[in-house]
């Protein structure tokens, strides 16, 4: 009956073990530190070599429009919702303003000094080299087949330069227009060392305006304050300052021109209307005087005078509303609350006027006529005075011609760059490095399916007889051998039980010896087979050192290298490979002749022999049974090292002769499923697997609270 029972594994895989997670991070601290340091170094290099970006800013105030007192008086009775900053910001970002700046500063010409790729510009800046510049007053490039035509300009001396491009080789002089082959270039100044090259490209006007719009920032300093801050970023301190100055100046100039044009149009209209209003007023006065003379100086009664005053007042208000309506209609639509309130007030005044007209109709005819004529005179006089005052206001506004825009602070470039923020870049690099390293660690943890603790095997019903830690000496030799000789790892193996008997791995094998004593008490013979699921699990290491440890107790032990394909114990023991197991099975050698007695080790040894073409067939020969029977009779313990079961079937054949069979599983290399499949395959061949040995256990913080951590926690000491 198999000692391995199929059990339903009850695990808490859905739970997050924070302790183990922290342990994994500590175990991978070298990876985390390395990746984080790498990204921090990259961030530091970027912070040092990145081109600094500066910011230029200016302060502009948009005041209330002059000469708008009639419209401002509406604030007492109407909601004051006149937009302040939004239209001005839109105007500042318009193609009209920015386009003029592009034209004035020739921003369609993009000039870049040629440096070594990536690091050249930063290295030149760090070394303190003076920046080279050339000033281009006029540029036009028309090169067929290129969306953004460009040429290279090389400085020959302070007054001469050369221009090269596709099919273009020209020489020019500073201050002289160079026109040839689709090029129109005027270099006004050269401030560069001879031999310096520049890449000059010609972008479209729309592209230049779009670039300005992308980098230009306009912020309102407060609600309805009318104070705007203009900011522009760039790597050229002088250029961005000039651009902000140009934008502010162009905005101010267009505002003055717009205000002057508006006042001029209004004055032109008033100049046409004033003579007409004056003529109508004179005509009304003549009619009133003529009627009074005709009727012998008819005077108005007190009631009529009161009604007349009311009618004139209402007419004056209606006239003011008409002017206000014309101004409001320039700012708002008819659906705006301000416009609607204006119309409601007009309707109220019209109703009041109708009521007064009804009162007039009830008066005598003479009084009605005098009242009508007097109303025409008074109303006309009021309209004339309003227009005259408006003309004077517009004349004053036009003569001043300062607009409603004021530049408070001229453009200035901040001395310190705004980008890159070196501290922030380095911190960002550290954070990114930490995130990536943590992601790598978590990915490794998630993708790792190997056995990490004996509990994983015990949950499947597999007895774990020992947990053998990694030998530090063995690990160092393997690393050194694979690094310098580039050979198979097995060739770097050492016989640890002889060279370092106090090693922790040997201590664990001594514990295995004790457990094995009780496990073999009911075995049919004293033959122990050590096998595994896959190569490089440590079968030879466990079997050879176990044989030595048992031999040191005084027992007579025979070690057989049953791996007829890749057995290497003859290299481990530094012996000849002649007259081995393959020779015995093929009948070429006798058993007594094949058994080697090595003085430095305490047990007898049968090597692999020459690699046969048919290992499985040889193992199934009766000679192998005879060998096992002979060994069982002459030795206290027979240890056989076999190939992995999942690779070949040799171990299944050998297992039928062995009384006890143990599997070797490699820590974090073999999976629990591999071990279970291996055991199932042995059971199908009639081989009973006693248990498993977990080899190559690494001391990890993540396994601190698990079984097997403190199992090998002591060593020999002199104290």
Residue 227 neighbours by CB under 8 Å, 6+ apart: 59, 60, 61, 62, 220, 221, 408
pLDDT band for position 302 (cuts 50, 70, 90) = low
Q: Peptide bond before 420: cis, by omega within 30 degrees of 0?
A: yes
Task: Report residue 353 as tokens.
Answer: 């006027």
Asked if residue 242 has pLDDT above 80, the reply is: yes
State the pLDDT at residue 120.
67
- Compute the average pLDDT of residues 482-501: 58
State the pLDDT at residue 498.
81
Most confident listed range (70-79, 440-449, 638-647)? 638-647
- Asked if 228 and 92 touch (Cβ cutoff 8 Å), the reply is yes
Asked if residue 596 has pLDDT above 80, the reply is: yes
Asked if residue 18 has pLDDT above 80, the reply is: no
Most confident listed range (353-362, 501-510, 619-628)? 619-628
Residue 313 neighbours by CB under 8 Å, 6+ apart: none
Residue 231 neighbours by CB under 8 Å, 6+ apart: 55, 56, 57, 216, 217, 218, 219, 244
Dihedral angle computed from the Cα positions of residues 653, 656, 662 and 668, in that order, rounded to the nearest 10 degrees: 30
- Compute the average pLDDT of residues 597-621: 87
State the pLDDT at residue 231.
93
Percent of the chain with pLDDT over 70: 77
The residue with greater pLDDT, 87 or 286, is 87
Asked if residue 363 has pLDDT above 90, the reply is: no
Asked if residue 55 has pLDDT above 50, the reply is: yes
Most confident listed range (74-83, 120-129, 142-151, 512-521)? 512-521
State the pLDDT at residue 145.
58
State the pLDDT at residue 543.
92
- Compute the average pLDDT of residues 389-404: 66
- Compute the average pLDDT of residues 504-508: 87
- Compute the average pLDDT of residues 464-471: 87
Percent of the chain with pLDDT over 90: 24
State the pLDDT at residue 86.
80
Q: Residues 555, 559, 561, CA angle at the centre, nearest 5°? A: 170
Q: How far apart are CA 213 and CA 310, in angstroms?
A: 57
Mean pLDDT of the chain: 79
Residue from 158, 117, 166 nearest 135 by CA? 158
**Element (H or E) spanning 691, and its range?**
strand 691-697
State the pLDDT at residue 558.
94
144-183 pLDDT, tens digit each:
656 677 888 888 888 888 888 777 788 888 888 888 877 8
Asked if residue 204 has pLDDT above 80, the reply is: yes
- Compute the average pLDDT of residues 439-452: 85
Query: Which of 482-496, 636-650, 702-716 is predicted with the least confidence, judged by mean pLDDT?
Result: 702-716
State the pLDDT at residue 67.
44
Q: How far apart are CA 465 and CA 542, in angstroms?
A: 12
- Compute the average pLDDT of residues 397-409: 71
Asked if residue 341 has pLDDT above 90, the reply is: no
For residue 712, what is the DSSP state?
Answer: G
Asked if residue 366 has pLDDT above 90, the reply is: no
**Element (H or E) spanning 483, and its range?**
helix 472-484
Chain mean position to CA 335:
47
pLDDT band for position 83 (cuts 50, 70, 90) = very low
- Compute the average pLDDT of residues 26-35: 89
φ, ψ at 110 (rounded to 5°): -105, 115
Asked if residue 632 has pLDDT above 80, the reply is: yes
pLDDT band for position 359 (cuts 50, 70, 90) = low
pLDDT band for position 305 (cuts 50, 70, 90) = low
Asked if residue 79 has pLDDT above 90, the reply is: no
- Compute the average pLDDT of residues 32-42: 94
- Collapsed DSSP state (helix, strand, coil) of residue 39: helix
Asked if residue 413 has pLDDT above 70, the reply is: yes
State the pLDDT at residue 641.
93
């Amino acid at each position: 009956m198999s000692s391995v029972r199929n059990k339903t594994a009850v695990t808490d895989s859905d739970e997050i073990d924070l302790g183990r997670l922290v342990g994994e991070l500590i175990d991978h601290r070298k990876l985390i530190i390395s990746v984080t340091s790498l990204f921090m170094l990259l961030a530091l290099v970027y912070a040092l070599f990145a081109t600094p970006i500066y910011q230029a800013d200016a302060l502009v105030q948009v005041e209330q429009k002059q000469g708008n007192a009639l419209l401002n008086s509406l604030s007492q009775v109407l909601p004051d919702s006149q937009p302040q900053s939004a239209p001005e910001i839109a105007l500042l970002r318009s193609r009209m303003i920015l386009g003029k700046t592009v034209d004035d500063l020739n921003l369609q010409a993009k000039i870049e000094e040629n440096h070594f790729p990536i690091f050249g510009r930063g290295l030149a800046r760090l070394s303190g080299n003076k920046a080279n510049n050339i000033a281009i007053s006029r540029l036009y490039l028309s090169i067929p087949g290129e969306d953004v035509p460009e040429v290279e300009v090389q400085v020959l001396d302070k007054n001469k330069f050369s221009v090269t491009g596709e099919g273009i080789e020209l020489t020019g002089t500073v201050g002289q227009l160079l026109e040839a082959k689709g090029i129109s270039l005027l270099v006004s100044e050269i401030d560069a060392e001879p031999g310096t090259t520049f890449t000059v490209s010609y972008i479209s006007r729309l592209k230049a305006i779009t670039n300005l719009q992308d980098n230009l920032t306009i912020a309102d300093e407060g609600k309805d304050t009318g104070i705007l801050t203009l900011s522009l970023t760039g790597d050229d301190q002088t250029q961005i300052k000039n651009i902000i100055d140009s934008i502010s100046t162009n905005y101010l100039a267009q505002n003055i021109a717009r205000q002057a044009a508006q006042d001029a149009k209004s004055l032109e209209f008033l100049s046409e209307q004033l003579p007409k209003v004056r003529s109508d007023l004179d005509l009304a006065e003549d009619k009133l005087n003529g009627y009074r003379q005709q009727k012998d100086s008819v005077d108005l009664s007190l009631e009529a005078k009161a009604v007349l005053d009311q009618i004139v007042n209402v007419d004056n208000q209606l006239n003011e509303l008409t002017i206000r309506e014309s101004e409001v209609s320039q700012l708002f639509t008819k659906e705006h609350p301000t416009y609607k309130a204006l119309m409601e007030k007009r309707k109220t005044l019209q109703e009041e006027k109708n009521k007064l007209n009804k009162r007039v109709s009830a008066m005598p005819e003479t009084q009605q006529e005098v009242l009508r004529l007097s109303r025409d005179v008074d109303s006309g006089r009021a309209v004339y005075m309003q227009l005259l005052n408006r003309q004077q206001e517009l004349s004053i506004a036009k003569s001043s011609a300062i607009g409603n825009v004021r530049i408070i602070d001229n453009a200035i470039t901040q001395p310190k760059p705004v980008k890159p923020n070196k501290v922030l870049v380095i911190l960002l690099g550290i954070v990114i490095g930490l995130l990536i390293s943590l992601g790598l660690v978590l990915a490794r943890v998630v993708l790792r399916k190997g056995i990490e603790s004996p509990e994983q095997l015990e949950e499947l019903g597999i007895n774990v007889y020992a947990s053998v830690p990694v030998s530090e000496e063995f690990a160092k030799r393997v690393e050194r051998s694979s690094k310098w000789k580039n050979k198979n790892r097995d060739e770097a193996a050492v016989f640890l039980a002889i060279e370092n008997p106090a090693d922790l791995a040997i201590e664990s094998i001594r514990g295995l010896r004790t457990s094995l004593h009780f496990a073999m008490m009911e075995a049919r013979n004293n033959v122990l087979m050590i096998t595994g699921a896959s190569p490089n699990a440590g079968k030879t290491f466990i079997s050879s050192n176990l044989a030595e440890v048992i031999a040191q107790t005084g027992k007579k032990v025979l070690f057989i290298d049953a791996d007829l394909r890749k057995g290497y114990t003859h290299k481990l023991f530094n012996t000849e490979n002649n007259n081995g197991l393959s020779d015995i099975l093929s009948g070429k050698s006798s058993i007594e002749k094949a058994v080697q007695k090595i003085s430095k080790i305490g047990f007898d040894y049968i090597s692999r022999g020459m690699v046969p073409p048919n290992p499985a067939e040889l193992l199934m020969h009766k000679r192998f049974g005879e060998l096992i029977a002979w060994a069982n009779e002459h030795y206290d313990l027979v240890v056989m090292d076999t190939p992995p079961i999942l690779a070949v079937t040799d171990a299944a054949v050998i297992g039928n002769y062995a009384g006890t069979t143990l599997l070797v599983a490699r820590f974090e290399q073999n999976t629990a499923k591999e071990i279970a499949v291996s055991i199932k395959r042995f059971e199908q061949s009639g081989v009973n697997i006693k248990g498993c040995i977990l080899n190559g256990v690494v001391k990890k913080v993540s396994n601190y609270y698990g079984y097997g951590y403190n199992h090998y926690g002591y060593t020999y000491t002199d104290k």
